[in-house]
Structure 1
Amino acid sequence: MDSLHIELSQNLKQKPEPSALGFGQYFSDHMFMMEYSLEKGWHDPKIMPYGPIALDPSAMVFHYGQEVFEGMKAYRTAIGELVLFRPDMNLKRLNESCERLSIPQVEPSTLLQGITELIKIDASWIPSGEENALYIRPFIIATEPCLGVRASHTYKLMVILSPVGSYYPEGIHPVSIYVEQRYVRAFRGGTGAAKTASNYAASIKAQEDAKQSGYSQVLWLDGVESKYVEEVGSMNVFFKVNGEVITPALSGSILAGVTRDSVIALLKSWGIPVSERKVAMEELVEAHKQGLLEEAFGTGTAAVISPIGSMKWGELELSIGGGKTGKLSKKLYDTITGIQRGQLDDSLGWRYRIE
């Protein structure tokens, strides 16, 4: 790629208290940016002060939604190392999203270099605290000024950083979820397997309705029969039934989560039966009636592991594990966060050290 140009900010921000971070409310001093054109490909990588960007009102992202993004985290270990967690998986998925949205793919090593240099410059923004981290948001938007319905000829790739606390106010404590039967998030052949803004925009109304009814998240069902479980909110979902852990198979409408993949690998290494297949709500209700639905939890970069204490489906309210965090959920959370923060051995090679 072109040589990386760095412009340091002359007006550094005051950092928030680690105990008051929330999620995605504060942003570091700098950002990474790179441009794309048909003539030059991806070019002009630079790190610059964080700030507004100028776009033409007819930029295609505003009108046809050509956009993809990723979510990653950076950590500081007990011995002071800066590390990422499986960044190769995130960059692979970013390019898969690009392919689905007809956006030019990015050379992973080029983007990873830009991300690591940005983190080194803003390393002081990595917050202290056991549940805190530096959230990394790479995204690509279509910038060509044109109202024709086609793929854009120009794009902008950006990376911004945000110090974050726990994604949910409940933290690792169980959340209550509402099984959505009216709205649909995605369907096979659509963009459900891509990390793109439209998927999340389509979920907001159901999420608002669920919160008004006292639930933390929405459990999405398939878009054809409204019968099979797909995702919970912005996370993949797992159920422990009679000793076996079950998660919906990647069928083209479910995001291939990095934490999901990590959980499956850990379960297999521990000798715990795990299967990826269709999971019907009726199956879960029957397992609950028989006392076999032992645990349920969501997985994702933001929350890592989010235990599910209850599910509302129609008139049924299913309490899971007595509304308490299950032993397996806690073990998975402790293991993944322990690897991320350098507290546990990284036998699977997931930690990426920033030199």
Structure 2
Amino acid sequence: SSGKTTTKEMLGSILSRIAPTLVTRGNLNNDLGVPVMLLELRPEHQYAVMELGASHQGEIDYTSNLVQPLVAGIINIGTAHLGEFGGRDGICRAKSEIYAHIAPNGTSIIPAADDFANSIRQAVQTEQVLSFGAGGEVFATEIELQAQSATFKLNTPQGVRQVNLPFAGEHNVQNATAAAAFALAIGISLDDIVLGLEQAVGAKGRLNFIQQGRHLLIDDTYNANPTSMRAAADVLAQQEGVRVMVMGDIGELGSSAAQQHYMLGRDLVSVKGLNFVVAVGEFAPAAQEGARSTQYGKKMQAFLTQEQALPFLLSLIETHQPQSMSFLFKGSRYTHMETLMADLMEKL
């Protein structure tokens, strides 16, 4: 549900160092995007890394039948598209459709630490299985998180290596262990995996760090779900200066949308190290209600539109002169939070 695109970029970085590799562009990962990407396969490609997403039951069944993978698996079962699936059990069923299409001599990858790990295991049909994450066969220890990067020990059945990952946040360390598991399953050496991870570059709008004078802007506007929003807040909390989280609405949550935004508001203002949370959009009032259910309610400001939010962000910079500030922008794709970020950058 979250981490697919970043894991795909990491895996693409590992494999394209070794041989010509086709990697899903952007997130062309649905019943239209996957065939579009498959049409780009050429005889010279040795590897293809295909991201498959689902917004309804049967979609992964359809796309993985087209892809016919040798190695495939799920990164996690989160809360994206809750509305369409009627709960996380439905999401798990939809994602697990992938396992029926792996070649018999292939490998199924599973997230060991996911709370749906047992259900996922039941869907596996291949003899060969490789698990990643805490309690799995490929996992990280001695994790040290820096403001814009991370270091950890990568533990695998092939041995242990130190990795200096150019990505921030514990969630990206987990994405790296997933990418390592996929690469190991097709026989890539541990040394090649480490080199690929250390040279990987994030996708546009996925935790991109932009230094603007003394202020830092973090562009995480590509998309959002409740899990990734919380992970982004943890990354922001690691930064310098006055830390401001600017969150747009999260879509496709169905009837649970107001409640999910309420819980997000409550949780984000409680993150140690965040000084302000600015909610923008239709569900901003619900997030603010959640914030007010805590002792940190004053940290949250809610605005229905980006036009209303911009003057407040500028006033924050004004009041905190000459301190440095760190802003993180994130929301679902349709909210176009990058517009608000660009408007703020113009005024800096």
Structure with higher helix content: 2
More strand by share: 1
Q: Which TM-score band (shorter chain)? A: under 0.3
Q: TM-score, normalised by structure 2?
A: 0.27
Question: Structure with the greater relative contact order (CA < 8 A, sep ≥ 6): 1 or 2?
Answer: 1
